[in-house]
Amino acid sequence: MKPYVIGLDLGGTNSVFGIVDSRGEIKATTAIKTAGFGTAEAYVDACVEALGIIIEQVGGIQTIKAMGIGAPNANYYKGTIEYAPNLTWAHNGIVPLADMFSERLGGIPVALTNDANAAALGEMVYGVARGMKNFIVITLGTGVGSGIVVNGQLLYGHDGFAGELGHVTMVRGTEGRLCGCGRKGCLEAYCSATGVARTARELLATTTEPSILREMNPEDITSLDVSIAAGKGDKLANEIYKFTGRMLGEACADFAAFSSPEAFIFFGGMVKAGDLIMHPIVESYNEHVMPIFRGKAQFLVSGLDGASAAILGASAVGWEIQ
């Protein structure tokens, strides 16, 4: 067996590459911006250029067995990215990304999975889900993603697109926030990084609570600013986390009715806030979940470093290709 696979964590903002050995050690990494490309071809060109340098560092393409990609709206069965709302070069069609990379990388096999599915594989192989057969990873980033593991297997559904829990509807009817997917009231519209920033703007506009965030131009506030303010004990920032956490907990109560996981694992920058976000999640979950599920599921924070976890998860997909 060749000693390395390439793992690609393809996010809405950055594309991070790692060359990984069979023990999960990352031997070389590089990254490019994901946005700013008009076509998928231009994006792949830029990727291959960046990859060429680190492939040479580990001994050339002949040392590479395969490539695994974690990406939004990825179709595992077909190796495509389809109608990804957060990717300018794939928001309006079907991009055969696995084949495009394979052709540019000497024909090595390439497999794609949802970026959140890759994170779930990473948790199962290297992280807090080791030994678990039924769990859900929820990724809180530019979007809200999920990787659902059932009976020890990723849930792909009949078309490869299962596990889009960021797009269950939390606020029904016309008053729901507009989501990147074109619909209203999705979990993602409230609990993603952009959703948190929007909650901040709404609370600043509708309350008179003093806050460090009032010193900023409301349009410039990001989830990172909320995080920094919360870390300083800012009461309004804590309210924002409480609102976000309570909605996540209510969503998890519905997810329990679906697949009754033994753990919900949260992943992404927002969970660095620790109890500020996790406490409202658990409290709201226990208020809203069916009595038969109450108190059964663990609520865990990913123990893996953000970028590495996604790369390792993507690499796990690569190792699995025959």
Distance between CA 33 and CA 31 in Å, rounded?
Answer: 7
> In 3D, which of 4, 298, 276, 282 has the Cα closest to residue 135?
298
Answer whether 122's CB lies under 8 Å from 316's CB. yes
Question: Judged by CB under 8 A, which of 115, 123, 164, 234 binds its own copies?
Answer: 164
Of 14, 29, 134, 222, the one binding its own copies (CB under 8 A) is 134
Scan residues 246-275 and list those touching its own copies (CB under 8 A). Answer: 250, 253-255, 257-262
* Given 148, 240, 282, 310, the residue binding its own copies (CB under 8 A): 148
Least Cβ distance, residue 257 to its own copies (angstroms): 4
The residues in 180-219 that bind its own copies, with binding defined as CB under 8 A, are: 181-183
- Look at phi and psi of residue 201 and say left if phi exceeds 0, alpha if psi is from -120 to 50, else beta: alpha
CA 187, CA 145: separation in Å to the nearest integer?
10
Q: Is residue 60 within the footprint of its own copies (CB under 8 A)?
A: no
Query: Closest separation between CB of residue 184 and its own copies, Å?
Result: 9
Minimum CB separation of residue 176 from its own copies in Å reads: 11
Q: Which of 105, 110, 86, 84 is nearest to 95 (CA)?
A: 84
User: Between 45 and 250, whose beta carbon lies closer to its own copies?
Assistant: 250
**By the rule CB under 8 A, 170 interacts with its own copies:** yes
String marking each residue 285-304 x if it binds its own copies according to CB under 8 A: ---x-xxxx--x--------
Do strands 263-267 and 298-301 pair parallel, antiparallel, or not at all (unpaired)? Answer: parallel
Per 3-state DSSP, what percentage of the chain is helix, strand, and coil (rounded to 5)? 45, 20, 35
**CB nearer its own copies, residue 187 or residue 229:** 187
Q: Which of 268, 216, 221, 264 lies closest to 240, judged by CA?
A: 221
Residue 269, SS3?
helix
Q: Applying CB under 8 A, which part among 48-56, 145-153, 214-222, 277-285 lies near its own copies? A: 145-153
Using CB under 8 A, list all residues that contact its own copies: 73, 82-83, 132-134, 148, 150-151, 153, 155-165, 167-172, 181-183, 250, 253-255, 257-262, 288, 290-293, 296
